[in-house]
């Protein structure tokens, strides 16, 4: 789904109003969808406080609070930056309606954390798309209050459409801008919020679809959403069997990195592959077999090309292979360059390619490249000073392969395609092994018949969503979550994808 600029979003809103829909109808539709999205994203009811400015962004927040109260059982209150007579007329109307029903507490001072019941969510409704530059008082004071509660009282901030003080077109945050843990973009993704440099202030990105406002156009920057892809959406036919799910072969592991091979296999299994064969150096076969999922077949090899002794529908190569001797290096390059089936090239396989004379010229349209920033820099050292979005675009101009550039806002693209940004994920994923799990999941989606770009995009979304779901369990924290933990929720993430829940 294409991202839009602030001006394009305002034009969409104006067109809807000119078509005969009232501003109130538009605000109610946006606010209700927003409330549902926030309630789903934060599934444990607690206390929600709306931080309100003057405009319709505050009106959306008020309608969302009503949904959180009525549908999800949250306690609600507001912190007003301005008195009621200074509010936009429609926002003032929504405030009066809730006040008349006795459902809304207006806080005169900052909330006391010791008096809060359950999780504390702060809804940033201070400034919408029309905000310009640094926040001025009294908005700046409330933004600082939200950040204090976020840092020291366990609060989480949900930005309405765009974090206040962040430019929706550039993603640049003004001094004192709101820092959000999740940004709920209404109608369409905002192009500046997709950029990697914006991630530290936007948090996770959640698209709030509003039929009246959602554009079906495509553009240079797109958001990975269930609405934009068909892979993984429909049910399997009832007589489905493992042969139809695809066979994944994984060449991975070494004495130091047995876990990488195990996690890749786990990813392929949880991603739905019908048969997973894990090929590892013979010296570590028994070590890996002892750790591997019972469903994986573990085979030892002396050389990489032995992987081709069994048929497969997708290959995953590179996870935890470590430093390779000249024979393994030569055969691995041959395997990558001459194998026609879909292939994920990850980690140490990318490093081998980067050191070879062939470089990225070895790749073809059947390859999915999954570098982290360091591996990307080794592949294309001349691009390291560019913004990551521009660097990704330049790389795929040089190769027909699909690129999944990992990071907190992973990018998926190939030549002639938009830059697809992944909205899911959490800082809890900053643990070694998440990339190995991801590589296996991509392999499963390739083996099921997905195109390289579909498989990469869906896998990025699912792995990020699995970590989000895990973090909603009370057993995990940002510090404690492991890739093994995340793998247990890949099934739940796939269900969310099928149902377009997030």
In degrees to the nearest 10, what's the CA dihedral of 458, 460, 463, 464? -120
Q: According to the model, what pLDDT value does residue 299 have?
A: 98
Q: According to the model, what pLDDT value does residue 104 have?
A: 83
Residue 133 has pLDDT above 90, yes or no: no
Give the span between the Cα atoms of 91 and 55, in whole angstroms.
Answer: 7
Average pLDDT over residues 63-67: 97
Average pLDDT over residues 466-491: 96
| CB within 8 Å of 211: residues ≥ 6 apart | 29
Percentage with pLDDT > 90 across the chain: 92
Average pLDDT over residues 400-406: 98
Asked if the domains at 6-223 and 242-498 fall in one CATH topology, the answer is no
Give the dihedral sign, CA 8/9/11/16: positive
pLDDT tens for each residue of 485-498: 999 999 999 999 99
Q: Is 250 left (phi over 0), alpha (psi -120 to 50) or beta?
A: beta
Give the span between the Cα atoms of 499 and 167, in whole angstroms.
Answer: 32
Q: According to the model, what pLDDT value does residue 214 have?
A: 82
Residue 221 has pLDDT above 80, yes or no: yes
Residue 131 has pLDDT above 80, yes or no: no
Tokens 């959602």 correspond to 214
Would you list the DSSP string of 11-38?
A: HHHHHHHHTT--HHHHHHHHHHHHHHHH
Q: According to the model, what pLDDT value does residue 78 have?
A: 97
- Count CB neighbours of 326 within 10 A: 7
Average pLDDT over residues 49-78: 96
pLDDT bucket at 130, cuts 50 / 70 / 90 = confident
Three-state DSSP at 384 gives: coil
Where are the chain's structural domains?
A: 6-223, 242-498
pTM of this prediction? 0.94
Among 28, 66, 69, which residue's Cα sits nearest to residue 211? 28
pLDDT bucket at 216, cuts 50 / 70 / 90 = confident
**Pair type for strands 402-405 and 411-413:** antiparallel
Q: According to the model, what pLDDT value does residue 118 have?
A: 86
Average pLDDT over residues 472-482: 94
- Total length of the chain: 502
- Alpha carbon distances (Å) from 100 to 82, 86, 93, 95: 19, 19, 11, 9
| CB within 8 Å of 158: residues ≥ 6 apart | 38, 41, 42, 121, 122, 123, 124, 180, 181, 182, 183, 184
Class at the top of the CATH hierarchy for domain 6-223:
alpha beta
Q: According to the model, what pLDDT value does residue 135 have?
A: 95
242-498: in CATH 2.60.120.260: no
Would you list the DSSP string of 253-280?
A: --SS-HHHHHHHHHHHHHTT-SEEEEEE
pLDDT bucket at 289, cuts 50 / 70 / 90 = very high
Q: According to the model, what pLDDT value does residue 322 have?
A: 96
Average pLDDT over residues 216-227: 89
Mean pLDDT rounded to a whole number for the chain: 95
Q: Which helix (DSSP H) or strand (DSSP E) does residue 69 occupy?
A: helix 56-70
Q: Where are the alpha helices (DSSP H) in 403-481?
A: 434-447, 452-471
Give the span between the Cα atoms of 457 and 181, in whole angstroms.
Answer: 22
Give the residues across from 76 on adjacent strands: 48
In degrees to the nearest 10, what's the CA dihedral of 262, 267, 272, 278? -30
pLDDT tens for each residue of 294-315: 999 999 999 999 999 999 999 9
Percentage with pLDDT > 70 across the chain: 100
Average pLDDT over residues 383-410: 96
């Amino acid at each position: 789904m294409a991202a839009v600029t602030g001006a394009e979003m305002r034009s969409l809103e104006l067109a809807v109003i000119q078509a005969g829909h009232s501003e109130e109808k538009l605000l109610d539709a946006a606010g209700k969808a927003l409330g549902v999205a926030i309630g789903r994203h934060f599934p444990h009811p607690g206390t929600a406080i709306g931080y309100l400015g003057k405009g319709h962004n505050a009106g959306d927040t008020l309608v969302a609070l009503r949904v959180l109260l009525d549908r999800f059982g949250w306690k609600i209150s507001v912190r007003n930056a301005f008195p009621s007579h200074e509010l936009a007329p429609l926002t003032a109307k929504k405030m009066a309606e809730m006040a008349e029903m006795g459902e809304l507490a207006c806080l005169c001072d900052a909330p006391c954390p010791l008096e809060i019941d359950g999780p504390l969510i702060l809804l940033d409704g201070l400034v919408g798309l029309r905000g310009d530059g640094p926040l001025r008082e009294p908005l700046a004071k409330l933004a600082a209050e939200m950040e204090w509660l976020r840092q020291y009282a366990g609060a989480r901030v949900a930005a309405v459409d765009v974090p206040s003080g962040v430019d929706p077109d550039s993603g640049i945050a003004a001094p004192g801008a709101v820092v959000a843990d999740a940004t709920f973009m209404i109608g369409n993704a905002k192009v500046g919020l997709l950029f990697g440099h914006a991630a530290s202030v936007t948090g996770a990105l959640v698209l709030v679809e509003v039929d009246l406002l959602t554009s079906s156009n495509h553009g240079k920057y797109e958001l990975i959403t269930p609405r934009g892809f068909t892979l993984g959406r429909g049910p399997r036919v009832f007589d489905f069997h493992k042969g139809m799910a695809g066979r994944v072969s994984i060449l991975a592991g070494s004495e130091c990195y047995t876990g990488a091979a195990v996690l890749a296999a786990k990813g392929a299994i949880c991603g739905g592959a019908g048969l997973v064969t894990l090929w590892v150096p013979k010296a570590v076969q028994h070590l890996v077999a002892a750790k591997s999922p019972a469903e994986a077949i573990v085979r030892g090899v002396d050389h990489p090309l032995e992987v081709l002794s069994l048929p497969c529908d997708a290959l995953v190569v590179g996870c935890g292979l470590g430093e390779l001797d000249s024979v393994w290096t030569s055969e691995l390059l041959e395997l990558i360059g001459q194998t026609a089936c879909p292939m994920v090239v990850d980690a140490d396989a990318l490093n081998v390619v980067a050191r070879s004379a062939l470089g990225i010229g070895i790749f073809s349209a059947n390859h999915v490249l999954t570098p982290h920033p360091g591996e990307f820099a080794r592949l294309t050292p001349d691009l390291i000073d560019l913004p990551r979005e521009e660097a990704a675009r330049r790389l795929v101009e040089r190769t027909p392969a699909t690129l999944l550039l990992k990071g907190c806002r992973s990018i998926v693209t190939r030549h002639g395609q938009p830059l697809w940004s992944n909205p899911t994920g959490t800082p809890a994923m900053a643990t070694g092994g998440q990339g190995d799990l991801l590589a296996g999941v991509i392999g499963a989606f390739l083996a099921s018949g997905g195109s390289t770009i579909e498989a990469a995009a869906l896998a990025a979304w699912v792995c990020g969503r699995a970590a989000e779901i895990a973090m909603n369990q009370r057993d995990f924290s940002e510090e404690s979550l492991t890739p093994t933990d995340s793998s247990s929720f890949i099934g739940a993430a796939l269900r969310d994808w099928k149902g377009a829940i997030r």
